[in-house]
Structure 1
């Protein structure tokens, strides 16, 4: 087994593991419940971790996580002239839908 990375919270760790598993990479979340003892232990030691079952899948797993973490953001120009970035489907200046 190989520790691939630490996640900032359990929801992100579960998302990453789900993406890896859907790609055929055997992965699991470790330190699932350690967040409850943060303060008793150093907080960085309580973060959930993503572990791979098979070490030889590391390069593919890192590539998948990198693609997931660095997705390009959408950008569109509203009829009012405002540039809207990110996942927004409605203009924050005038309220028009994309």
Structure 2
């Protein structure tokens, strides 16, 4: 087993481990309840971690997790007011019109 990365909370760690397992890369969450000892150890040392079973497939697991966690990047122009909208927004920030 090899540590893949830390997660900001148990929910994301569990979600990431499930995504990896469904993608054919068996994974598990370690230190899932480490937040209870914050103060005894530094907070960044108590974060939950995602571990993969097959260390030789680490790069494949990293690539899959990066693809799953990347936010969509879009750039479009509102047909109602002509405003340029970037990011994951599905409506114009200026006039509220839906993305075409």
- Using the size of structure 1 for normalisation, the TM-score is 0.86
Q: Deviations over 1:38-87 (max 9, x none)?
A: 22321011111000112222121011123234454122111212122222
1:87 alignment partner in structure 2: 88
d(CA) in 1 for partners of 2:17 and 2:71? 17
- For structure 2, the 5+ residue unaligned runs are none
- For structure 1, the 5+ residue unaligned runs are none
Give the CA deviation at 1:20.
0.6
2:29 alignment partner in structure 1: 29
Describe the shift of the 1:51–1:90 C-alpha distance in structure 2 as closer, same or farther (beyond 3 A). Answer: same
- Using the size of structure 2 for normalisation, the TM-score is 0.85
d(CA) in 1 for partners of 2:87 and 2:10? 24
2:6 alignment partner in structure 1: 6
Give the CA deviation at 1:93.
0.4
d(CA) in 2 for partners of 1:74 and 1:35? 36
Aligned pairs, how many? Answer: 98
